[in-house]
Structure 1
Amino acid sequence: MNARLRKLYDDLSDTFWLVPALLVLLGTVAAFGMIEIDRSGTVPAWLLENWLYNGGATGARTLLGAVASSTIGVAGTVFSITIAALSLAAGQMGPRLLRNFTRDRGNQITLGIFLGTFCYALIVLRSVRTADEGAFVPHLALGVGIALGFICVATLVYFVDHMASRINVDTVIGLVSDDVRRVMRGLTDDAPQPEPPPPAHWRDAEPIRDARAGYLHHLDENGLASWACEHETEIRLLVRPGDYVFPGAPIALIKPPRDGAEEAVRDATALSPTLTSSDDLRFAIRQLVEVAVRALSPGINDPHTALSVLNRLGAALCDMQPVRMKSGVVVKQGRLALVVPHLQYDELVDAMLHMIRQNAAGKPAVLIGMLEVLTQVASVERDPPRLSSVRRHADLVMGDAERDVRGPDDLADVRARYWAFVDMAEHGPLGPFKL
């Protein structure tokens, strides 16, 4: 159930309409509240004379009509600019990055302020009465409406500046790299991790099948482990967040079997038809990699963007130096309860670098940039298995350069960066000066 609630929260966070709808509701409620205060006659005379609108009904209607017509017009412009930004992002940076624009609170609040002000002005307008109609002018509500008009002006200035920065590719790369680091923090730990049991441990396990289909969006590890501990059994999940669950295929193994295991696994997992899991590190990395791959395509040919992505990926690997990837083993009350196939360091580096390297064939600037990033990672990371993974990718880069880079000078530059990496990996930052 916890997984489904988290999925519902993520789905609502991804929707573009929720915040504008709440602001429209707030504007509507505020309009009725201001009108009731005006009707009660509790507005101080000094406030009415010095700060609020104190004209007649005709002027009030003109003023409110101007506020309503202008705000709805600007709201349409804001919506058009947002759609244009989405089209630009989809074409140049990839359709998966549209999620970052639709989730942007600045865009949602801007549209909501204009629509909320429009609804506020309409509701207050309908309460204005001339002398022939009963002579009622809601002075306080009109004053608030004028203040909302000024707020809309400031919001428009903010929106133009906000969108100009959001469509900048470096800004988008920075935002996505922040997502990578956030998810990475949830998958790492400073404490030693328990080792998973060997594959032979599950030889007598019984498979748990799932009739659903979709991407694993959320997983309630603690809830499922608690169920396994309570029923004195062990569960090994065969999928992790971001994996596709095929109908009828085994989703987990259980040893020994227990009644209700299928329901427990179903309650602890939430599926989604689209790959948008906030718990999936590979998805966040794919977003960055897609920006680099599109930048390296012949239609765009922007190696500087690819280098910027490589720098962010290298920074994420440097952040991992003091921590370790979680093993996915959950122990409850001193006994094994759950094993989840968590992402490991080799898989992480592969997801970051394979596709970029494959699309950078024949581009020495990008290959040199990749070797320089790997050199910086090697200067920070001194764990032998991790260094071996980084070294493997440096060897792949060098192999691609030997095969695809035709210019002898360019190839010599790549070789020089490769041997600088080898020296860093073998001797560390001090190099030959190390005692």
Structure 2
Amino acid sequence: MSARVKAWLEILGDLFWLRPALIVLGCILLAQFGVWLETAHVAGYDPSSPDTNWGYSGGAEGARALLSAIASSNIGVAGTTFSITIAALTLASGQMGPRLLRNFIRDGRNQAALGIFLGTFAYALMVLRTVRTVEESPFVPHLAITGALVLALVAVGTLVWFVHHIATSINIETVVDAVQQDLCKSIAAHTRDEPGAARPAETPSGRAVAATGGGYVQAMDADALAAWAHENRVTVTLRVRPGDYVPSGYPLAFLSAQIEGAEAAIRDAVTLGRRPAALQDPEYSIRQLVEIAVRGLSPGINDPFTAGSVVDHLGDALCRIAPQHLPTGVVVRDGRPVLVHPVTDYDGLCDAMFHMIRQNAAGSVHVLGRMLDVLARVAEVERLPDRATELARHADLVVAAARRDVADPSDLADLEDRYRRFRDIASGVE
């Protein structure tokens, strides 16, 4: 599947109305099918038979009253469900940041719950229009009405489940864990068992290919672009990576030689959008976690425990990276590099994880101490000296912030002890 198709599918996941619309359409088709079974006498259902009285066996007036009650109650519950969802989104936006709203909107369970209520309403309406009394040439679709009863019971269970789901989904620990799961999936997708080819040292030069429009790089089809470059025997050097913002007219890439059709090939391989996407950007989930921590450290919220929990989850992500290799951004075909593109390296990941938290945690002994402990744990499982050096750089920045902003001597002494413990562990790697 191409990167452009994947980016398109991810955009579809952001549409809150899509799943409910599909469920409503399915319920309408189900209602039509139930009525058809009754008119075609395919099922052989006889409401007067004692062997088949498990379904609806009343008359037209009772059917109309029942279907009207089901339709009116479910549309009311659907409005309540939507209101609860909006309240949850407002709470999440205020406490955890507006960028996390995307996670709630993309939650298929919220969309499915709303779809079930709207689908039951649509099903009841579609069946209700076929019910006719004696004065109208009597017709009562007993099977379809029985289906409406089943859907009504499903809607009752969905309401109870939905309230439970919303109550747990807005819990800060649940949100942090969900974002961390996305980060773990991104790490698994972007790490390798073997090291990649070394990046060339020369500065990119040659013919430039500029962007025709601005936007965030949401996805990049490196395989297709590398295949095109190999076929035309050129080297393509991209200047952007997923997550970068590209202004209009900015040179997207340089080509080692002028080739016809290069602009179309590069623009087809690089998908731009109005907002960043998590599809190929490993820093996307990191930024979400960091935003939760920074908001927790703000004076208005003052929740250092949330920031400490975020630091723990970020440390877990670095421990998952420890036995793996990050891509170098070089694609080789037949022993020759055909595509060179920017990638997120280990230093960039650590900077994205710790810089903003450290800057906003100045004076918070709990968070600074947790950062030193997490860095020590990561250093204990890390075996590459250059990565240990990067961890030591962040530990030096943390202890420097502590020496500058922590006034209590005993608190500072505790942080100094943790820093020395980190140096003892990191010295065994370096």
- Superposition TM-score, scaled by structure 2 size: 0.97
SS across alignment from 1:271: strand
Alignment-derived partner of residue 332 in structure 1: 333
Residues 56 and 265 of structure 1: is their aligned pair in 2 closer, same or farther, counting only changes over 3 Å?
Answer: same
Alignment-derived partner of residue 37 in structure 1: 37
1:49-89 superposed Cα distances (whole Å, 9 cap, x missing partner)? 32111111111001001100110000000000000000000
1:125-183 superposed Cα distances (whole Å, 9 cap, x missing partner)? 11111111111111000101000010001111110111111000000001111111111
SS across alignment from 2:129: helix
Give the C-alpha shift of residue 47 in structure 1: 8.0
Alignment-derived partner of residue 381 in structure 2: 380
Separation (CA, whole Å) in 2 of partners of 1:234 and 1:291: 41
Alignment-derived partner of residue 418 in structure 1: 419
Alignment-derived partner of residue 11 in structure 2: 11
Superposed counterparts of 1:105-124, under 5 Å: 105-124=108-127
Give the C-alpha shift of residue 275 in structure 1: 1.8
Q: Does 1:284 align with 2:285?
A: yes
Separation (CA, whole Å) in 2 of partners of 1:187 and 1:244: 20
Separation (CA, whole Å) in 2 of partners of 1:17 and 1:144: 24
Q: What letter is aligned with 1:209?
A: A
Residues 217 and 245, structure 2, Cα contact 8 Å, conserved in 1: yes
Alignment-derived partner of residue 160 in structure 1: 163
Separation (CA, whole Å) in 2 of partners of 1:213 and 1:106: 34
Separation (CA, whole Å) in 2 of partners of 1:192 and 1:414: 36
Q: What letter is aligned with 2:119?
A: G
Taking only the aligned residue pairs, the percentage that are identical comes to 50
- 174, 177, 198: which is aligned to 2:177? 174
Q: Does 1:406 align with 2:407?
A: yes
SS across alignment from 1:324: coil
Separation (CA, whole Å) in 2 of partners of 1:171 and 1:98: 14
Q: What letter is aligned with 2:343?
A: H
- 183, 187, 190: which is aligned to 1:184? 187
Separation (CA, whole Å) in 2 of partners of 1:165 and 1:278: 26
Alignment-derived partner of residue 237 in structure 2: 236
Superposed counterparts of 1:261-410, under 5 Å: 261-410=262-411
Q: What letter is aligned with 1:39?
A: T
Give the C-alpha shift of residue 337 in structure 1: 1.0
Alignment-derived partner of residue 433 in structure 1: none
Residues 3 and 267, structure 1, Cα contact 8 Å, conserved in 2: no
Give the C-alpha shift of residue 362 in structure 1: 0.7
SS across alignment from 1:82: helix
Give the C-alpha shift of residue 277 in structure 1: 3.6
Residues 7 and 279, structure 2, Cα contact 8 Å, conserved in 1: no
Q: What letter is aligned with 2:37?
A: I
Give the C-alpha shift of residue 327 in structure 1: 0.5
Residues 75 and 118, structure 2, Cα contact 8 Å, conserved in 1: yes
RMSD: 1.3
Separation (CA, whole Å) in 2 of partners of 1:216 and 1:300: 33
Moved over 6 A (4+): none
Residues 48 and 54, structure 1, Cα contact 8 Å, conserved in 2: no
1:267-294 superposed Cα distances (whole Å, 9 cap, x missing partner)? 1111011123421111211000000000
SS across alignment from 2:254: strand
Separation (CA, whole Å) in 2 of partners of 1:368 and 1:11: 40
SS across alignment from 2:354: helix
Give the C-alpha shift of residue 121 in structure 1: 0.1
Structure 2: 5+ residue runs without aligned partners? none
1:286-335 superposed Cα distances (whole Å, 9 cap, x missing partner)? 00000000000000000000001000000000001110100111112332
Structure 1: 5+ residue runs without aligned partners? 429-435
Alignment-derived partner of residue 23 in structure 1: 23
Range with bigger deviation, 330-339 or 246-255: 330-339
Alignment-derived partner of residue 127 in structure 1: 130
1:381-405 superposed Cα distances (whole Å, 9 cap, x missing partner)? 1211000000000000000000000
Alignment-derived partner of residue 99 in structure 1: 102
Residues 235 and 338, structure 2, Cα contact 8 Å, conserved in 1: yes
Residues 48 and 139, structure 1, Cα contact 8 Å, conserved in 2: no
Q: What letter is aligned with 2:360?
A: N
Give the C-alpha shift of residue 41 in structure 1: 2.2
Alignment-derived partner of residue 432 in structure 1: none
Separation (CA, whole Å) in 1 of partners of 2:111 and 2:424: 51
Q: Does 1:87 align with 2:95?
A: no
1:90-125 superposed Cα distances (whole Å, 9 cap, x missing partner)? 000000000100010110000000000000000101
Range with bigger deviation, 45-54 or 378-387: 45-54
Separation (CA, whole Å) in 2 of partners of 1:281 and 1:47: 63
Separation (CA, whole Å) in 2 of partners of 1:48 and 1:309: 60
Separation (CA, whole Å) in 2 of partners of 1:216 and 1:35: 50
